[in-house]
A = this chain, B = another copy of it.
């Protein structure tokens, strides 16, 4: 009998996602292509914000074999490029990058995205991806793939030269995907990206050669994302231990606390000291034990804190959203609401923005009817899939739309945009398409929606009143002509046209003024 333990093996994260690619969003032909574009475009946007560049992105999709679903994908940006030292890892090593560990608002979070695309190209066509990076005067061109066994990049055909150009160009051949113009496709994805990123210019070359330009509508670059310190109320015992044991700059627990957490001043340490008299705040942070860390986290709950700083959080902005939505939807009514910063899980700040557009090209025309259109965003990145389990969908469902004069909310010409900004978006899966139902988030989104809906209700009531007024006026006007004639006859008055003018004025004042 062979021993089952002779089969004992260790596997890399790359092998894991190779076997479970659906967890990264690679399931279904349309979704797989959108996932590819999503990962590459969010990287481009993050990179340009880091470097304070107005992004110009070119996405080109070339059809090689329709039946097989084989396409060539190009994504080029004018960002900073990536230095040679990191290019391979950034593009072909899972869980490597600058994003995983920092408390900073970005679209990407986990350092899997681009490597996932490289993986998908390899798995479906066996081909390396082709990269060109222009970074600080150096141009680097090469072919990159993943060694799945080790999760390490394999780099080939390196060419180097000097250049003035900066940016990144990513070229991949993939199969088992599909380009279409459905609500889950690349076109819709880029349209929505443009709506939430009005400072970005995106050019899409479709498989049939058509060029779709989503022009920049505003010249303001969003602020450079800033790393923020965590707030004590958002910290678990395990986090606190981690931070303390990795600390190299402070010699005492007191100093460590003051210099690593937001709002944790020396007077707050004093308070903590009083709550936990048996903790030695002079000991080295590296020596913090679980029991003391647990006591500290409990003590955090008893202290009164100033709310978390929102320095690191940058919403799209009311004006930008309004401009974008008017630009694209040309609605008869629009209202944008930006809520004040709020907090979830005790200490993680976030900001909700909502745009509500009605009429014009808002909503979605379905045969001879309308259907509403819910556009979900997290840190300005569109979320197209898994809407069912998302906090945004949940909040939209929780609004009693009937109370806002929207009898059949599902069938109204209405577009709802919701964007959530935070240094930590709590996604439900590695595919990053739905936000988990955090109570405070759902509540904030709902409040924002209701605020906008109240304005819409006024507008709709105004429309009704207006209509009624016009109908009454019209009814009265019909008689003005005749009445002025009759009155003139009766009074033997010679100027019926003066009478008519005065009567018209009267009607105007009474029914319109």
Give the interface of A toward B (CB within 8 A): 4-5, 7-13, 15-16, 19-20, 22-23, 27, 50, 82-83, 85-86, 89-90, 93, 95-98, 100-102, 110-111, 122-127, 236-238, 241, 290, 293-294, 388-389, 428-430, 436
Given contacts A13-B16, A126-B294, 18 further A-B contacts (CB under 8 A): A5-B82, A7-B102, A8-B96, A8-B98, A10-B89, A10-B93, A13-B95, A15-B95, A15-B100, A16-B95, A19-B100, A19-B110, A22-B428, A23-B430, A124-B237, A126-B241, A388-B388, A388-B389
Residues of the B chain whose Cβ atoms lie less than 8 Å from the Cβ of A436: 22, 27
Are B123's CB and A236's CB within 8 A?
A: yes
Q: Across the interface, do A100 and B294 meet the contact criterion of CB distance under 8 Å?
A: no
Contact B7 A96 (CB under 8 A): no
Q: Which residues of B contact A89 (CB under 8 A)?
A: 8, 10
Q: How far is the CB of A115 from chain B (nearest CB, A)?
A: 11
Contacts of A124 in B (CB 8 A): 237-238
Q: Which residues of the partner chain B approach A102 to less than 8 Å between Cβ atoms?
A: 7
Partner of A101, one of B5, B9, B241: B9
- Among candidates B11, B90, B110, B125, residue contacting A100 with C-beta atoms closer than 8 Å: B11
| Residue pair B50, A4 in contact (C-beta under 8 Å) | yes
Q: Which residues of B contact A122 (CB under 8 A)?
A: 238
Determine whether the beta carbon of A126 is less than 8 Å from that of B20: no
Look across to chain B and name the residue whose beta carbon is closest to the beta carbon of A99.
B7
Q: Which B residues touch A4, using CB under 8 A?
A: 50, 98
- The docked-state distance in angstroms from the alpha carbon of A100 to that of B148 is 14
A96 surroundings in chain B (CB, below 8 A) = 8-11
Contact: A97 with B241, CB < 8 Å?
Answer: no
Chain B residue numbers with a CB within 8 Å of A237 are: 124, 126
In this complex, what residue of B is CB-closest to A293? B126
Q: How far is the CA of A16 from the CA of B83 in the complex (A)?
A: 25
Complex Cα spacing A251 to B12, Å: 28
A390 vs chain B, min Cβ distance (A): 13
Chain B, residue nearest A52 (CB): B1
Residues of B near A23 (CB, < 8 A) are 23, 429-430
- Chain B residues with Cβ below 8 Å from A20 are 110, 430
The 10 lowest CB-CB distance pairs between A and B, nearest first, are A126-B290, A11-B95, A13-B13, A7-B98, A10-B96, A123-B238, A4-B50, A8-B86, A11-B100, A8-B98
Q: Whole-angstrom distance from the CB of A172 to the nearest CB of chain B? A: 15
Give complex CA distance A237, B174 in Å. 13
Measured in the bound complex, the distance between the Cα atoms of B20 and A100 in whole Å is 11
Please measure, in the bound complex, the distance between the C-alpha atom of A293 and the C-alpha atom of B122, giving whole angstroms.
13
CB distance from A85 to the nearest CB of B (A): 8
Bound: A164/B440 CA distance, A: 55
**CB-based contact B126/A9 at 8 Å:** no
Minimum CB–CB distance for A161 against chain B, Å: 21
Ordered by A's residue number, 15 sampled pairs between the chains whose C-beta atoms are within 8 Å are A5-B83, A5-B98, A8-B89, A8-B90, A9-B97, A10-B93, A12-B95, A13-B13, A13-B16, A16-B110, A20-B430, A22-B428, A23-B23, A122-B238, A123-B236
Contact A10 B95 (CB under 8 A): yes
In the assembled complex, the Cα of A101 lies from the Cα of B8 at a distance in Å of 10
Q: How far is the CA of A51 from the CA of B78 in the complex (A)?
A: 60
> Given the complex, which residues of B lie within 8 Å of A7, measured CB to CB?
98, 101-102
